[in-house]
Structure formats: structure tokens, C-alpha cells
Amino acid sequence: MRNRFVRWVVFLLIGVGIGATIGYFDAQSEMKNGVIKTSPDDIYKRKPSRKKPKDFTDIAKNFGGEFTLVNQDGKIVTQDDFSNSYKLIFFGFSYCPEVCPTELMKMTLILGDLKDDISTKITPIFVSIDPERDTPEQLKQYVEQFNPDMVGLTGTKEQIEAVKKSFRVYASKIENKDMEGYMMNHSSFMYLMDKDNKLVAMYPATDTAEDIADDIYARGL
């Protein structure tokens, strides 16, 4: 009897493991193909979070502000060009092998998880921390892989340093003689900014798309 029970538990665990593995690769396939199977209404079917949205008022006092950059079409833009919408912003670089594409896909999933009357109020923005390689042409090809409405921003070294400072973004170049080219080490937060370019919320890479969509919905945009 005991041996039979042990065998049953082992088979159960194997089955769960196989199911989880299949689910993982299905999710990866969806992300790579840009397919979002979740209905925009699904977020409202989930059990509402009892967690109150975090207040970022104190941080917002000295965060963000004015900037002048160049978009993926080569046009000079400022914060005023986005004054008619909220912004979901991530800082990274197009040669990033893992974190940046994961976060930009997450940004697309977040907007897909929100109803149109909320998602259309938010402009997804990717700001390069690598102006040396991220030309407007390079960014245009890059951001279009994730979302046709995503804005890619770059600029001169001085312009990028200024916007990094105002958004408190850490970034440094990593060079290695055994490595072709170079990499960038950088902080990985997603920032939700309001129409006045003031910080509403910031999300670490550990937050899931579902977590962030729930938080945005709870804030009543």
C-alpha cells in the first residue's frame, strides 16, 4: 500500500512538471511571436487585489521633468510632445540580450491587459542609454518588433546623460577584450508618468505584467 502511494505521488509530480514545462514554452512562444491570447476583460475577472497602490508623492517631487531627445523618426521632441497622455517608460539599449526585450514585451502585455479606454491613455516609450549605437534608424527597427505604437527615444550623449539624471537611471558601459563590442549595465525600472511628466509609479523588473496592469487599473487612470 505504501509503495503504491509513493508511486502515485511520483507520477503526480511528473505530470505537474510536464504541464508546467509545456505552459512555460507556450508562454515563451506567445511572447516571441507577439501574440497575446489573454482577453482585455480578463484583468477584471481576477480577484481584486487588496493591496493599496504605493504612494510615490515624495519621490515625484524631484523626479522626471523637462527633456529634449530625438525620436525614431529623427524628429526632436520634448516632454511637451507627450503632454496629452500618460507615459510608460523604460530605459535600456537595443543590443541588450535579455532584460530589455523582456521588459518591452512586458510593456506590450500590460497595455494588452488593460481595456482600451485605459490603454489608449498611455504612450509606451523606450529611452536609449546607448546613444553611440542606438541611432533613430536602429531604434525604429527595434521598437516596432514589440509594439507599432511604441516610441523610441535617443539623442546626443549630453541629452541622454541629462534625462538619465532626471529619472535617476544608472547606466555604465562594460568592455571586455574577449567580448565583441560592449554591453551596458543599467537599472531596470518601468516608470508610469502622468500628463505633466510627474511620476505616478515605478515598477521593478520583478513585477509581472499582471501586477502592473492591476496597479494601473487601481490608480483610476
pLDDT at 192: 97
pLDDT at 51: 67
List the domain boundaries for the chain: 1-35, 40-218
pLDDT at 15: 42
Give the integer Cα–Cα distance in Å for 93 and 147.
16
What is the 8-class DSSP label of residue 134? -
- The band of 70, judged by pLDDT with boundaries at 50, 70 and 90, is very high
State the average pLDDT over residues 211-220: 92
pLDDT at 116: 87
pLDDT at 175: 84
User: Taking the model in full, what pTM does it have?
Assistant: 0.76
40-218 under CATH 3.40.30.10, yes or no = yes
Give all strands (DSSP E) within the chain, no chain letters: 68-71, 76-78, 86-92, 122-128, 151-154, 171-175, 182-186, 189-193, 199-204
